[in-house]
Chain A
Amino acid sequence: MNIFRFAGDMTHLISILVLLLKIYATKTCSGISLKTQELYALVFVTRYLDLFTDFISVYNTVMKLVFIGSTLAIVWCMRLHRVVRRSYNRELDTFRHYFLVAGCFALALVLHEKFTFQEVFWAFSIYLEAVAILPQLVLLQRSGNVDNLTGQYIFFLGYLTFSVLILLSCSSQPTEMPFWAYRAFYILNWIYRYFTEQHFSRWIACISGLIQTALYADFFYYYFLSWKNNATLKLPA
């Protein structure tokens, strides 16, 4: 465990808890894509199949349970909670995410570390996480503006490219120091482990992580601009 990874896990945890708290406290989920949340729940369920077969550490097991539990709680809230579900933008959240699931599964059948049940599902979860944000980005584009917390939620999930830029630009107001990006730490962690561990090669996770970053980069650019100009975020249609 290195500081990059720990910070990445904490940022990821905060982003999920912030979203869950926002939905639960305000009893509204407008601007949030249920499809993206369902994809994230699928990512965690398929990635942590080794939850009961491989014990790595208490930290590892607890975090897996928290990630699975909190994302399922978000999906439950948005689908079944009688008050929250009314504010779900069903007519805007129309991304056909089944294609993402099918595509990632097909890719995982071809590209994996080892052709076993667990490894194919692990690779599937890595690919799916890279594209899971797409329904949310499409929903943001359709709903036009970003309500404050949704934007911040995606911001917390964000990546090196613009988080460093935003960090540098707002270093003047330390109170606004945003939580670092989650995947940014993981990319730093992979670089760190590549140089410190002989047999460390996680090409599947690395490349998928970089694609994930690219997907976020454009969102961050517009988020940064709106934040800088203090205007509501308008993504180009």
Chain B
Amino acid sequence: SSNGISHDEL
């Protein structure tokens, strides 16, 4: 994502 870490969990 934009800052490299994507949290795919809610």
Contacts and interface: CB of A to CB of B under 8 A. Distances in A.
Interface of A: 5, 9, 12, 47, 50, 53-54, 56, 60, 63-64, 67, 113-114, 116, 118-119, 122, 186, 189, 202, 205
Interface string B1-10: 1111111111
B10 A113 contact: no
B2 A5 contact: no
A189 B9 CA distance: 10
B10 A64 contact: yes
B2 A60 contact: no
A182 B8 CA distance: 17
A54 B5 CA distance: 10
B3 A9 contact: no
Contacts of A60: 8, 10
A54 B10 contact: no
Q: Nearest 10 pairs between A and B by C-beta?
A: A54-B1, A116-B3, A53-B2, A56-B8, A113-B5, A63-B10, A118-B3, A9-B10, A54-B6, A114-B5
A50 B2 contact: yes
A186 B10 CA distance: 10
Contacts of B3: 114, 116, 118-119
Contacts of A5: 9
B4 A54 contact: no
13 contacts: A5-B9, A12-B10, A50-B7, A54-B1, A54-B6, A60-B10, A114-B3, A114-B5, A116-B3, A118-B1, A118-B2, A118-B3, A119-B3
Contacts of B7: 47, 50, 122
Contact of B10 (A53, A67, A114, A118): A67
A186 B1 CA distance: 22
Contacts of A202: 9
Given A118-B2, A122-B7, 11 more contacts: A9-B10, A50-B7, A60-B8, A60-B10, A63-B10, A67-B10, A114-B3, A114-B4, A116-B3, A186-B9, A205-B9
